[in-house]
Structure 1
Amino acid sequence: MRQIEQLSLELLNKTKQVYLIRNVLYFLPALVLIAGFTLLAKNHQNHSKNALVIDGPKKPTSSPVLSPEEGIKKMHVEDGFMVKLVASEPLTTAPVALNFDEKGRIWVVEMEDYMPDTIGTGEDQPLGKVAILSDKNGDGVMDDRKVVIDSLVLPRAICLIENGILVAEPPYLWYYDLKDDKAINKTLVDAKYADGGNVEHQPNGLFRALDNWIYSAKSAKRYRKKGSKWLVEKTHFRGQWGITQDDQGRLFYNTNSENLLGDYFSPGLGATNEHQRAVSGYVKKIVADNRVYPVRPTPGVNRGYLEGVLDDSLRLVNFTAACGPVIYNADLFDKEYYGNAFVAEPSANLIKRNLLQEDGYRIDGREAYVKKEFLASEDERFRPVSLYVGPDGAMYVVDLYRGIIQHKTYLTPYLKNEIKERNLTQPLSCGRIYKVVPVNKSGEAVKFSKDANQLVSLLQSPNGWVRNKAQQLLLDGKYKTVAPALRKNLVAGNNPLALTHSMWTLEGLGLLQPSDVLPLLKQTDPKIRTQALTVLPSVLNKTNYVQFMPVLQKMINQDDSLAAPYIAFLAHHIQPLSASASKQLLLTLSKKYASNQYVADAIISNLQDKETAFYQEALRVNPDSSLAIFKQLKRVMTDVAWSKNNSNAVDIAKLYPKGAALFGTICQTCHGKDGNGVPSLAPPLNNSEWVTGDKNKLLSIILYGLTGPVKVAGKVYKAPEINGDMPSIGASKEFTDADIAQVANFIRSSWLNKATDKVTAADVTNTRKRFKNREKTFTMEELAKLP
């Protein structure tokens, strides 16, 4: 309930800035599905221009509950592939995420308490579970269930590590020791894992990456277990629901309306300057095309009544619930599928395939097909929310299998009507896990043993899941005796992937030495060099850094442009060892790569509170202030100066405590704690004329939402820089008019915002009366015409 409140507020603030936060909120923490109801349709109103009803002969009149076998028959999958059932109700209910263990068992997260009806009755009940599904008879279908943890409220992610399991249960992150598949010794890892946000806007994923850290979507934190302690570090804020990696350990994710986002560089670098709002090469749009091609009419999306959301056949036009991506990196599929990115779209009942290609720093992608999808279902209740590569090389699909996926905070009257017409509320007891495999080709899961040498050999597996699991088991078992075998892989040179995993396994065991890394920095393969640069901070110390400086300098002198950003990122780790060596490295890079935006931002990532001084020094070395390094430095310097003039939001919070609380839980996720917006999500509330100007227009946005581009402080914000649609909260019963007035006053008075006229509950009530019959969101143009 409280999460929902927060959600709505988020919208509030967004509205103030005329956000376009595009309904990012659709993503139920684990149900990004919700996003599916975000946009929608040309054929709307036979009623008034503000009506929310779609009529027409093409609209489905029913949505029957299908058995898994019937559901598979309704799936259109690419030629040469087939879908097999792995698990279904009653063995699993409302699954949203999973992990495989070394025995091939599935550890599934079940969010059974999510949206029992259109008003969320009982959503705060502890019905969530973590269960183990096993295949006892070996036929490929799970037939045994064991509940490991129950009585959870809306759990969303797990991660198996050492002899325990991490569990995300907002706002907490817990670690449980495991004994005989029973959870014991519950430990709090992070009381603010999901600090703020709501069911649709909270961290998830808990992805154990190549670099031995655990990353989440919708989060700027990463975690690592060191003995009995947990390390928590700042990282780049990424994505919304679901997170994955490629063979180089680069992370990929998305937001509900964006096909695929990702990083060009390794995940643990470059998030060290709090003044830097974005770092080139991180949170990049990988696939620009957001079109989707359902095989059925999809009127059941939250704003299906809006022009352009649905096409003439009532099918969703663009992603509205993109989630759960996976990079396929196994050998069960044919070679052309290796490295492809698959993305789920539960609101349109489909899975998209994208082809990725590297070009220098960049990773670019495109859709694999023209006007079709890898997999699409005719069943409205098919809700793929998470995708995984499995131990057998198949692609696994987590299907929530529910009618309602939009959270109550943003559930429009239009969608409520769709739910009622097709009886989508019940049942709540379904859930399926499928796998996609080639026809006439079956994969076999690798058998893991406790033999450390066998685990080392599996680092050469053609299946990425197997390689990653072997690395993790070596770390979890603390098998330090395998160091010689791992070092042998470092010099073999015939398998770069085995080399990469061996290097990171040594790092995870605490056995990596400078002598292991130095030769790798001189390899001809640029991917090996960048992996070595990424791991370098783990071996640098006060006495050995001098060994590496000549090698780094040589890379710069030899115009190794692919290594240059990594070297710049590394300066942060050299600085505490030698401030002069670090600065000289940065100055050299700023001169040689002054026009390179990626190197420029990598340099700036080292300069917190030193931006102005470095600007002057760099200008003496390279006097052309029009170059990228100076433009990007100026931008950061301006942001710093601006933030110093911001008012103290703590003082404002004392005046509007409820508004401040709601902002922190709902709005802050997308607009930022400082109100300056979050890249790819929402524009600034700070210094926004939509926030400080006509309070009635601000309330119109809060109550009814905003769609399309919005201009804030002279700059036009539009997708993909931000989400293109901000949902409303006017229909929500979670917020009183007094609550909405408090939030409006809080943002109108915080930071640089100094609005003098206060918003009252009566103002909110009057705005409701003025637009009594309105259901549609506003556009910037409509708001401008309001008297």
Structure 2
Amino acid sequence: MSFTNPLRFSLALLCVGALTVSASEAPEPADAAEPEFKGDRDGHEMRDVIPKRDIPSAPILNVEQALERFQVQPGFVIEPVAAEPSVFNPVALAFDARGRMWVAEMTTYMPDVLGTGEMEPNGNIAVLEDTNGDGEVDKRTVFLSDIVLPRTVSIVEGGIFYADQSALYFAEVREEDGRLSPGLHEVVDAEYAKGGSVEHKPNAMLYGMDHWYYNARSDRKYQVLPHESVVPSGAEEIYRNPYWKLVRARTEYRGQWGLSMDDYGRLYHNGNSSPIHGEYLLPGALRRNPGYWPDAAAHPIGGHQVHPARMNPGVNRGYMEGVLVPDGPDRGKLVNFTAASGSLVYRGSNFPPEYYGMALTPEPAANLVTARRILEREGLLAGEPLFPGQELLTSTDERFRPVNLYNAPDGTLYLVDMYHGILQHREFLTSYLAAQIADRELDKNNNTMGRIYRLRWRQTPAAEVSDLTRLSPDQWVPLLGHPNAWHRDTARRLLVHHGPTPDLVTALKKQLRGSKRPFAIINILWTLRGLNAIDLATVKRFIQHEHDWVAITAAAVGEALPPAERKAYRKQLMKMAKSGYPRALQAAVSVAAIEGGFDISRFVLKHYETQPYGRAAVVSGLGTEAGAFIASLEKGDVDEQTEYLLNNLGKRQRDESNRAQLSAEGQTLYDLGKQLFNGKAACASCHGSHGNGQDGVAPTLWETRWVRDPQRMVRVMLHGLKGPIMVGPFEWSTPNVMPGFAARPDISDKELAAVATYIRNSWGNAEDTNGGLEGSTVTEIREATEGRSEPYTAKDFQPMKN
């Protein structure tokens, strides 16, 4: 497939015409109509909670001035790595094997409150280098330009992946005499970021421990394989080039912006109003059974509260009670997260040991980065603040917008600062925030600046950046035990993409025999798995290791053992199941790789059925043998909840859509509603494209009583809903408030009826058989509730029965 840029013209046409009038075409100010802001809601008073005279100014600062505005915890120091004109509006980056930064520059994002020219293809992928080793960038190369709002960049053999407003691309990297240029340049997934608003599109492309590339705001994962390799079960080949082929598969839907992982390969992400969340199990652990696809539970690592250094009235709902501190010494400061961005588990080598593995989340609306200690309990991840009542880093510069964090090649922490006055996208902007922006001239010079900083421990110099391309594959092997995770992650990718040779496999096994650190053993095991070089002796040696996650990793990679060794592997899984929780969970999951492991499944149910993930791990691990397992059960073997799970396997998939039972008009509405749900209405951004919801963001829409009564549903759609509410047997409470559509002039009553019809007849809901919701119904309810200004609560409706 040859490269084209299909977005250049089509996306330009998507700009709202009334919002893209040039200065020369605009009428005189006296005749100009007030712009309409889509975030406004009828009845909301756009009041200034903090008088304008009390709000600090927000001047544009150069780097030296900006550094004076930072407050960091004792022992840390913040240092500039790059700034304009070396970098502009950075939103994401990736380090290549030479330690160079490949930066996605979103140089047209919200230059003003109207988003004028935002969809122009003027974004870049730029390469930043420190050629003299002083820690600051002194060379900038624009590798690609003419990109519409680039949001993702990741390194792969032969080149890079990057994503724009719609698709995922591969660009071959050619280098001659120190000059970089793109070679082969092709679309690899035209559906990667299709639909939805700018704020609600896939991103990240994190290279995971298991060799899949994972994404935030997405349920897709990607893997690079040799051309001759067998496509993994459940995946499909979507692209190939001279270097490799690319396969795509389903995974759990995760987060909003940014993705990270810990030393064990577990993934961490966040929602808009919720900071970092972590998954207790390895990705995909609960998706081995084709009839069972629960979402991976993501546990909050600490609370939602923030502690800014300056007032934060410039947030979209700053006029609402409870958003800002009303009085006292913290008057005007943001109370809770509202724009959590790219979180990170710090795995570098520069900070003291007590900070290794800490969880970090930037909050660009409050100009800070928060830090929590990750706490691991039985079946649960949790967290506590590292600096109670304070943050790791804050700034009194309102334009400081930390949007992503990275473990760097020199062992420090890199912060990507978009340095932008406007954070909120026009699709959600309120007139209150627009006025705040105008008051402090935050709409000036928004696409000509940007910074990248590093956070360093003052007493520890940043390490020299290694050029791993100068090493041979056998020299990459020892790096799998390097104290800085960037070396481990990069070496693992280089080795797997290089491919196996007898000498390389021998070197890896020799390194494994001499390794003592758990993270080194785990990295080598996954590297051997990626090279299809796992053997029974290796699995047997480590599956009973004293460290839980070494044992769990050995079981996970052991799933790739050849059929002749699976009988012996089964015995190892049973030993592991008897080794206690959480090893028993992985044993139950890994049963999916063998035949007839029912004795392991029964053992785990007997001893851990009521423990967190006990049932789920067993049901997932039954894989395609669930029917045979169910047939083998006798009365009393499992409890009622497990019996319910087993008896309902696959039913969600069969009942997913009630479209066929609708009238012709109802089917037309259903199809329009599906398009709107995933597009302009942006419902999928919170509830997920499959209606599964997201922990800490929005509840599931599967078989929910909340959609049964059309009167109740339309009221909620028009005016919003806030928790706590009961969804099935669970209480759902989140700081997020579901926004209403009553103030959205861009969505008609017919379109709202279409969205309602789609929801009411998807995901096990079947409410409009032989019909469909009428647009007139929405109009009637809109008129009847015209004076409402607050979101609904559960108390506003009669008690509902499941």
Q: CA RMSD in A?
A: 3.5
Q: Pick from 483, 486, 510: which aligns with 1:488?
A: 510
Cross-structure match for 1:537: 559
Structure 1 position 676, deviation (Å): 5.7
Change (3 A) 1:77 1:613: same
Cross-structure match for 2:642: 629
Alignment of 1:660 with 2:678, yes or no, is no
Cross-structure match for 2:393: 375
Please give the per-residue CA displacement for 1:24-47, whole angstroms capped at 9, x wherever unaligned: xxxxxxxxxxxxx9999xxxxxx9
Partner Cα separation in structure 2 for residue 765 and residue 418 of structure 1: 36
Report matched runs for 1:416-427 at 5 Å: 416-427=434-445
Cross-structure match for 1:515: 537
Structure 1 position 93, deviation (Å): 1.1
Structure 1 position 604, deviation (Å): 1.2
Cross-structure match for 1:502: 524
Partner Cα separation in structure 1 for residue 281 and residue 778 of structure 2: 49
Cross-structure match for 1:385: 403
Please give the per-residue CA displacement for 1:488-533, whole angstroms capped at 9, x wherever unaligned: 1222242332222222222223333333322222333322211111
Cross-structure match for 1:403: 421
Name which of structure 1's ranges 69-78 and 521-530 shifts more when overlaid on structure 2. Answer: 521-530
Alignment of 1:172 with 2:167, yes or no, is yes
Q: Pick from 262, 269, 284: which aligns with 2:298?
A: 284
Change (3 A) 1:388 1:147: same
Name which of structure 1's ranges 677-686 and 445-454 shifts more when overlaid on structure 2. Answer: 677-686
Which residue identity lines up with residue 726 of structure 1 in the other structure? Answer: M
Change (3 A) 1:61 1:593: closer
Change (3 A) 1:387 1:7: farther
Which residue identity lines up with residue 344 of structure 2 in the other structure? Answer: V
Alignment of 1:258 with 2:268, yes or no, is no
The answer for unaligned runs of 5 or more in structure 1 is 9-36, 41-46
Question: Could you state the TM-score of these two structures normalised by the residue count of structure 1?
Answer: 0.85
Cross-structure match for 1:143: 138
Contact residue 286 and residue 293 of structure 2 kept, 8 A? no
Which residue identity lines up with residue 205 of structure 1 in the other structure? Answer: A
- Describe the SS at the equivalent of 2:79: strand
Partner Cα separation in structure 2 for residue 178 and residue 586 of structure 1: 48
Cross-structure match for 1:111: 106
Which residue identity lines up with residue 262 of structure 1 in the other structure? Answer: G
Cross-structure match for 1:207: 206
Name which of structure 1's ranges 681-690 and 443-452 shifts more when overlaid on structure 2. Answer: 681-690
Partner Cα separation in structure 1 for residue 728 and residue 298 of structure 2: 24
Q: Pick from 714, 729, 739: which aligns with 2:751?
A: 739
Alignment of 1:724 with 2:743, yes or no, is no
Structure 1 position 738, deviation (Å): 4.4
Structure 1 position 363, deviation (Å): 2.9
Aligned residues: 735
Structure 1 position 347, deviation (Å): 0.9
Structure 1 position 600, deviation (Å): 1.3
Structure 1 position 344, deviation (Å): 0.7
Q: Pick from 293, 306, 309: which aligns with 2:307?
A: 293
- Describe the SS at the equivalent of 2:275: strand
Change (3 A) 1:240 1:674: closer
Contact residue 152 and residue 163 of structure 2 kept, 8 A? yes
Partner Cα separation in structure 2 for residue 409 and residue 377 of structure 1: 27
Change (3 A) 1:606 1:359: closer
Contact residue 102 and residue 128 of structure 2 kept, 8 A? yes
Alignment of 1:566 with 2:561, yes or no, is no
Question: What percentage of residue pairs aligned between the two structures are identical?
Answer: 32
Contact residue 94 and residue 112 of structure 1 kept, 8 A? yes
Cross-structure match for 1:469: 490
Cross-structure match for 1:25: none
Q: Pick from 158, 164, 167: which aligns with 1:163?
A: 158
Name which of structure 1's ranges 387-396 and 230-239 shifts more when overlaid on structure 2. Answer: 230-239
Cross-structure match for 1:224: 223
Alignment of 1:708 with 2:723, yes or no, is yes
Please give the per-residue CA displacement for 1:411-443, whole angstroms capped at 9, x wherever unaligned: 122212212222212212111100011224311
Structure 1 position 478, deviation (Å): 3.6
Q: Pick from 478, 488, 507: which aligns with 1:457?
A: 478
Which residue identity lines up with residue 229 of structure 1 in the other structure? Answer: K
Report matched runs for 1:37-48 at 5 Å: none
Structure 1 position 119, deviation (Å): 2.6
Change (3 A) 1:637 1:614: farther
- Describe the SS at the equivalent of 2:614: helix
- Describe the SS at the equivalent of 1:605: helix
Partner Cα separation in structure 2 for residue 690 and residue 479 of structure 1: 54
Change (3 A) 1:478 1:758: closer
Structure 1 position 315, deviation (Å): 1.1
Structure 1 position 317, deviation (Å): 0.9
Change (3 A) 1:650 1:272: farther
Cross-structure match for 2:460: 441
Partner Cα separation in structure 1 for residue 56 and residue 107 of structure 2: 27
Contact residue 597 and residue 629 of structure 1 kept, 8 A? no
Contact residue 687 and residue 753 of structure 1 kept, 8 A? no
Partner Cα separation in structure 2 for residue 631 and residue 145 of structure 1: 59
Change (3 A) 1:767 1:112: same
Contact residue 257 and residue 318 of structure 1 kept, 8 A? yes
Change (3 A) 1:48 1:199: closer
Structure 1 position 81, deviation (Å): 1.1
Cross-structure match for 1:305: 319
Alignment of 1:683 with 2:699, yes or no, is yes
Which residue identity lines up with residue 430 of structure 1 in the other structure? Answer: M
Which residue identity lines up with residue 350 of structure 2 in the other structure? Answer: L
Structure 1 position 768, deviation (Å): 7.2
Alignment of 1:603 with 2:618, yes or no, is yes
Change (3 A) 1:274 1:509: closer
Structure 1 position 345, deviation (Å): 0.7
Partner Cα separation in structure 2 for residue 415 and residue 619 of structure 1: 63
Please give the per-residue CA displacement for 1:517-562, whole angstroms capped at 9, x wherever unaligned: 2222233332221111111122x23222112112222223x34332
Cross-structure match for 1:527: 549
Partner Cα separation in structure 2 for residue 122 and residue 634 of structure 1: 54
Which residue identity lines up with residue 583 of structure 1 in the other structure? Answer: F
Which residue identity lines up with residue 139 of structure 1 in the other structure? Answer: D
